[in-house]
Amino acid sequence: MCRPTPNHAMVAAASSCQHLVSPAALPRIPGALSVLSYNILLPNSQDGWWTYKMYFPPLSNDQSIFSSWDYRKSLLQERIGLIDADVVCLQEVSPLSFENDFAFMTDDLGYDGVELFKKGRFRPATFWKKDRVALVDTPQHKDRTLLTTFCLVDERTEVTNKDYWHVLNCHLQAGKQGGRRVRQIIEGTTAALKAARKHRLNGDTPENLKLIVCGDFNGGEECGAVQYLEKGSIGPDFLEDGDQVSSKIKVLPFPPLSDVFSADCIDRGGVPPPATLVVPELISHLIQRGTVESAYEEPTFSEGVLDRLRKIYSKFATFCITESSSDQLPQMYMGKDDVERWLTIINLRVGRGTEFRTAAKYMGWVEPKDPPVESKKNSNIEHPPIHIPVGGFLSVDDFIGVYLDELRQGKFWGIAWDLAALGEPLPVRDVFRARYDRMYASQSLTPAAVLDTLSVNACPNQKEPSDHLPICASFLPRIESSE
């Protein structure tokens, strides 16, 4: 059975907020719902082979275990188990190995309820403990958001509609996609209100909606999706990365949500909420000065990177081509063997990674054309695998072009790792910090406990299994003073 929220016993708890710092468990508070959100970095048991490139500087052979899924999983299990939240919202899980990767959630930690997002390579998943909360509606799968509706469990009482809680697990689109992020959060929050009204929201007033929105927003305060939740609306005058995120004014269908980790009841001594994305600061080293803002549009490598790439190329280029004109010296290029040596160092084997696919095209590999639509019926088309052509070569401009393509895809970490592994590391000293992972609560809720997780060092590392840090909090219904 679902328990109704007490109306008197929790007044004292609702008027204050416990501030905790990891490692710690969230306190069990009567009438409260606790939620943990965590982008766990794509599991690399079957997918995510490149995870080792997220560790910088590159791990030594003795340290390579730190990037393995078994090691990372043990850290995740220990942390999630210690925090002991009622509901756990994960982002970036892999459907290929989901059941095996997260069997520990049920077998060892007691999360016997689970919903995996239906689409995509990087999916959200929501777990819950059935002895604490009961799922009361079919989960809703929107564009990169997953909505679940619960009530608190207490076998001594009956179900009361006013006690339904909605948890929106988000992994908003990355990159220069501000408009899509706004549409995703609008769609998810609208679905929450519709679900609440379906279950006879108390008085049918949006102010009574019990909603927690959490996850990886792939943006900070400059993000339109964040502004929409915090301000309650967004319009054509708001620009993100220089672009409109909405062609007309969009209004949140209920009062603005509160940023849980910035709540007034939390005393950090004037220190702002901690960063949740803590990674090596790479852009200033990779991008030509003055073009950081356009890294995704018209990326230009710094002279330092270009110099390093040319040096690396000269180390690998052993393929000699003599021009037809006899007065020119032979030119050295990277041939098939050279390219495969390079790919083996950076990707551990030939045949995977966008560097491999881009290099193959530069060297003359041509993707087979599909047959006409009519001939596709009742036939299984299997294209031959991509390969490095025999006799093909990669020029220095092509080699740089391979990495420019990586830059356009935002793979700053991959470029930096490759440079280091190839003997030309960047002089990275600083750490980039941002609060991309966020948790919001509707007006009818108040935080009862908030748990900060801190890291001085860039993540992932020996102690942190992801480039993101978890966020977690407990919530109580807001109780207005009778005075």
Yes or no: say if 475 and 439 are a contact pair by the CB < 8 Å rule: no
Strand 445-452, strand 18-21: pairing = parallel
Helical residues (DSSP H) of 52-207, grouped into ranges: 69-83, 98-101, 103-107, 178-198
Distance, CA of 14 to CA of 482 (rounded, Å): 14
In the chain, % helix, strand, coil (3-state, to 5) comes to 30, 20, 45
CA angle 228, 233, 235 (to 5 degrees): 100
State yes or no: cis peptide before 6, omega within 30 of 0: no
Q: Is 447 exposed, middle or buried (0-12, 13-18, 19+ CB in 10 A)?
A: buried
Yes or no: say if 418 and 346 are a contact pair by the CB < 8 Å rule: yes
Tokens 């004014």, residue located: 249
Name 278's bridge partners.
433
Helical residues (DSSP H) of 127-223, grouped into ranges: 178-198
Domains and CATH numbers, the chain: 11-280+434-477 (3.60.10.10), 283-367+385-429 (no CATH)
Tell me if residue 283 falls in helix, strand or coil: helix
Helix (H) or strand (E) holding 250: strand 250-251
pLDDT on residue 8: 42
pLDDT on residue 297: 64
Helix (H) or strand (E) holding 397: helix 396-408
DSSP 162: G
pLDDT on residue 206: 81
**Pick from 461, 447, 369: which is nearest to 19 by CA?**
447
Q: Please give the backbone phi and psi of residue 444, each rounded to the nearest 5 degrees, phi first.
A: -80, -5
Distance, CA of 195 to CA of 481 (rounded, Å): 29
**Pick from 413, 408, 309, 403: which is nearest to 362 by CA?**
403
- pLDDT by residue for the chain (483 residues), tens only, comes to 565 555 444 444 445 899 999 999 999 999 999 999 999 999 999 999 999 999 999 999 999 999 999 999 999 999 999 999 999 999 999 999 999 999 999 999 999 999 999 999 999 999 999 999 999 999 999 999 999 999 999 745 544 445 899 999 999 999 889 999 999 999 999 999 999 988 876 555 788 899 999 999 999 999 999 999 999 999 999 999 889 999 999 999 999 999 999 999 999 999 999 999 999 999 999 998 754 455 556 779 999 999 999 999 999 999 887 766 556 667 899 999 999 999 999 999 999 999 999 999 999 999 887 666 555 554 566 678 999 999 999 999 999 999 999 999 989 999 999 999 999 999 999 999 999 999 999 999 999 999 999 999 999 999 999 999 999 999 999 986 544
Distance, CA of 477 to CA of 483 (rounded, Å): 18
pLDDT on residue 2: 64
Strand 277-280, strand 431-434: pairing = antiparallel
Tell me if residue 481 falls in helix, strand or coil: coil
Structure tokens at 330: 């032979």
Tell me if residue 449 falls in helix, strand or coil: strand
> What long-range pairs does 312-316 form, CB within 8 A, spacing at least 24?
312/342, 312/399, 312/419, 312/422, 312/423, 312/424, 313/396, 313/399, 313/400, 315/422, 315/423, 316/341, 316/342
pLDDT on residue 344: 98
The CA R_g of the chain, rounded to the nearest whole Å, is 26
- Fill in the amino acid letter for 2: C
Name 444's bridge partners.
none
Distance, CA of 286 to CA of 418 (rounded, Å): 12
Q: Please give the backbone phi and psi of residue 454, each rounded to the nearest 5 degrees, phi first.
A: -120, 150
